[in-house]
Amino acid sequence: MSTTEIFLIAMLIIFTVPYLIWRLGRTDHFAPLVVVQIITGILLGPGILGALLPGYYSFVFNPAVIQSLNGIAWWAVMIFVWIAGIELDLRQAWEHRRESGITAGLALGLPLAAGCAVGLGLLAFPGWMGPGAQQWQFVLGVGMSCAVTALPILILLMEKLEILRQPIGQRILRYASLDDIAIWGVLALILMDWERVGKQLGFLLAFGGVTLAFRRLMQAIPEPDRWFAGLIWLALCGLGADWSGLHFMVGAFLAGAVMDSHWFNQKHMDLLRHHVLLVAMPVFFLSTGLRTNWGMGGAAVFGVAALLLVASVAGKLAGTGLAGRILRWQPGEGSLIGWLLQTKALIMIIFANVLLDKRIITSETFTALLLMAVASTMLTVPIVAPRLARMAEVIYRAK
């Protein structure tokens, strides 16, 4: 068969299998379609499908097909991260800066510390730290993976719970937006290459200067042209960041973060996010699954994933619980917010992909992080939904 035909077989698998599992299994309450797609990507990877059907696996997912899938995945995830950057609303965070700063800081800081503790423990065992990492990069990368909140998935789940446009939904978006900035800032710090620091500083300086001109241009042109200009800007920033030794995902986030959401029709932006999730992101999930590795044995990987999950959940709940005491929230409110901020799936997977690309973590660590992200995201809706029903008054409280 030709490469084109095999590629289309792979696409058929990517779109058919998770949809049937989601629709026929009625998993939406605990695992939205996006989570099922991530899990299916893991199942189709070398650790499971590759082990059970090695001949079939090597036929369908041969190097030429994987290269084609990776190209689609790179562009899809760049657009997704770019949208996340555009949707950051720092004005709201500034208006409520004391409450937002305390909550976001504790919700990020405590799981970061707990995750770093796990990372320090992993240093004692070979096979977890990547060959391109210094110890501090590995520890900080693992710690931040435990602290991540996936803003796009959080929006998706809050829409499902019908609280996105309610005061509590807007509060949680403020906290997650501040954490999102910190996440990408820490990633940029981890990726700083001191041998190429001149290139990286040069890119950041050039980015700052060109951004001023770009913003003037965007304000001067009509909205239909802004979409084209924005995508050109996205590709340019991704190229510059990757050339400098940072990662193209850092460039994609920066490209969106310096753009204002009010430049675009919100319904159109929501549709774009939905269509990217529908049309292209499943390819990214599959390509992520193809990078999982069980070479150290499933027990070790699952054991580390469980430790990371405990660090993530306990750290996040401790952080929001402490914020609730300081800010005098109602009983149970901190726990409710902590569980909603537990959603990790997409951004943490993107974050871990970058760490793997830069050889800061190994495939085994990547697999453990991926399992932790899926588990923490799947816990969110089943735990939050009954709590929301009991705490209706909290939904409408603005701060």
pLDDT in tens, 194-246: 666 788 888 889 999 999 999 999 999 999 999 999 999 999 999 999 898 87
* 56, 126, 253, 330, 373 from 72: Cα distances, Å: 22, 34, 18, 46, 23
Arithmetic mean of pLDDT, 58-73: 90
Quote the distance between the C-alpha of residue 162 and its chain's center. Answer: 22
Angstrom distance (rounded) from CA 150 to CA 174: 13
User: What is the mean predicted confidence (pLDDT) over 91-113?
Assistant: 87
Cα 83 to Cα 275: distance, rounded to the nearest angstrom = 12
Say if residue 343's pLDDT is above 60. Answer: yes
- CA-nearest of 90, 74, 91, 105 to 251 is 74
Do residues 247 and 190 touch, judged by C-beta distance below 8 A? no
Helices (H), the chain: 3-25, 33-43, 49-52, 54-60, 63-86, 90-95, 97-122, 135-147, 151-160, 167-191, 197-220, 223-244, 248-257, 266-279, 281-289, 298-327, 333-340, 345-357, 363-390, 392-395
pLDDT at 84: 81
* Tokens standing for residue 1: 């068969």
Whether the pLDDT of residue 47 is over 60: the answer is: yes
pLDDT beyond 70 at 315: yes
Predicted pLDDT of residue 209: 93
Better-predicted residue by pLDDT, 108 or 46: 108
Distance CA 52, CA 13 (A): 16
Q: How confident is the model at residue 297 (pLDDT cuts 50, 70, 90)?
A: low
What letter does residue 330 receive in the DSSP assignment? P
DSSP letters, 161-204, are TT-TTSHHHHHHHHHHHHHHHHHHHHHHHHH--TTSHHHHHHHH
Residue 293, pLDDT score: 67
**Whether the predicted pLDDT of 29 surpasses 80:** no
pLDDT of residue 396: 60
Alpha-carbon distance values, 368 to 7, 194, 220, 360 (Å): 28, 29, 47, 14
pLDDT for position 295: 62
Band (360; pLDDT cuts 50, 70, 90): very high
**pLDDT for 215:** 96
In contact, 145 and 351? CB cutoff 8 Å: yes
For residues 109 and 143, is the Cβ–Cβ distance under 8 A?
no
pLDDT at 386 over 60: yes
- What is the share, in percent, of the chain residues with pLDDT greater than 70? 95
pTM to 2 decimal places: 0.81
Would you say residue 35 has pLDDT above 60?
yes
Q: Are 84 and 289 in contact (CB under 8 A)?
A: no
